[in-house]
Amino acid sequence: MDIAKDKWKKPILEIINGSEEPVGSWFIVSEFKKQDIEVSSATVGRELNELETLGFVERVGFKGRVITAMGRRVIEEIRATQTLDYYRNSLDALINSDVMENFLQVLEARQTIERQTARLAAERISEEGLAELIERYERQQDHERDNLSIAADDIAFHGCIARHSGNKALYSLYMMLSAMGQQSELFEQLRHRVGDNYTPHHGRVLEAIKARDPDKAEEAMNHHIKRLMEDVNHYWSEYIKLKHDSTR
């Protein structure tokens, strides 16, 4: 049972957890009233019985109920999940923002992460992984020559580097920050606007990784993301105008 989504169980557990003494239904009703929440003693009683059956609370004679170790663990897990959800929603709002400062902050985060993934990939990538990265790069070149979108190719290339860095946490962070439609859409427009599809930048990163040179790989990736940030800063207003015109 997901008590985080239950109307009464989580708040009742929170009240019991916050009490140093066993509590009964009338105490819980009173605590709810302090929060301007109306609930009957009978409803609380039923919820307490269910919580006891689940092993989250236990009865102490006629004094009332106290929270169990399992109940405390459930409360901690719910709080942790809610905290993660808050920051995940905040990140989603930041990534999908139409505010340039927010978008640049996402690129700053990518810059920090991808400098390290490029460095680690140069140190750790296998021959099979290198062949995959070369294939990603060549596919991007083919699409560019045919004047096709390379948005997916860009994510695939960077994602391949992050995956072959051997660090699952960095790979997950990159995917969270990069695999959003707005970034692909923006970079595709930048490619046409500045006449540079960033493929040469990818080529320098690839060559450094092929050479197993972590310093050059980090430097090439840093230059690439820095160039993206400069172009976003320069052409942002034009991008926003085109985006808004396309939705009319």
The full DSSP string for 83-104 is HHHHHHHHHHHHHT-S-HHHHH
- How high is the pLDDT of residue 48? 95
Name the domain boundary from 42, 76, 110: 76
Residues 12 and 101 in one domain: no
Asked if residue 233 is part of any domain, the answer here is yes
Residues 148 and 105 in one domain: yes
Helix (H) or strand (E) holding 112, with range, is helix 100-124
Q: How many residues does the chain have?
A: 248
pLDDT higher than threshold 60 for residue 182: no
Return the DSSP state at 4: G
Asked if residue 68 is part of any domain, the answer here is yes
| C-alpha neighbours within 13 Å on the C-beta side of residue 136 | 21
> How do residues 102-131 score in pLDDT, each as one tens digit?
888 888 999 999 999 999 999 999 999 999
Question: CATH no. for residue 208?
Answer: 1.20.120.530
Asked if residue 83 is part of any domain, the answer here is no
Residues 51 and 122 in one domain: no
User: Parallel, antiparallel, or unpaired for β 64-67 and 57-60?
Assistant: antiparallel
- How high is the pLDDT of residue 149? 80
Residue-range definition of the domain harbouring residue 31? 3-76
Asked if residue 194 is part of any domain, the answer here is yes
Asked if residue 86 is part of any domain, the answer here is no
How many helices (H) does the chain have, and how many strands (E)? 11, 2
Instruction: Name residue, tokens 């320069």.
Output: 234
Alpha-carbon distance of 157 to 105, in angstroms, equals 21
CA 69 to chain centre: 31
> How do residues 156-166 score in pLDDT, each as one tens digit?
999 999 999 99
Asked if residue 88 is part of any domain, the answer here is no
Average pLDDT, the chain: 88
Residues 38 and 101 in one domain: no
84-92 contacts: CB < 8 A, separation 24 or more? 91/176, 91/177
Residues 167 and 206 in one domain: yes
Asked if 59 contacts 52 with a C-beta cutoff of 8 angstroms, the reply is: yes
Name the domain boundary from 45, 76, 107: 76
Sign of the C-alpha dihedral, residues 98, 101, 106, 107? positive
Residues 101 and 69 in one domain: no
Asked if residue 87 is part of any domain, the answer here is no
Residues 108 and 210 in one domain: yes
> How do residues 186-226 score in pLDDT, each as one tens digit?
777 776 666 666 778 999 999 999 999 999 999 999 999 99
For residue 18, CA distances in Å to 12, 38, 39, 67, 162 come to: 10, 20, 19, 9, 44
Domain count, the chain: 2
- How high is the pLDDT of residue 247? 58
Question: CATH no. for residue 16?
Answer: 1.10.10.10
Asked if residue 141 is part of any domain, the answer here is yes
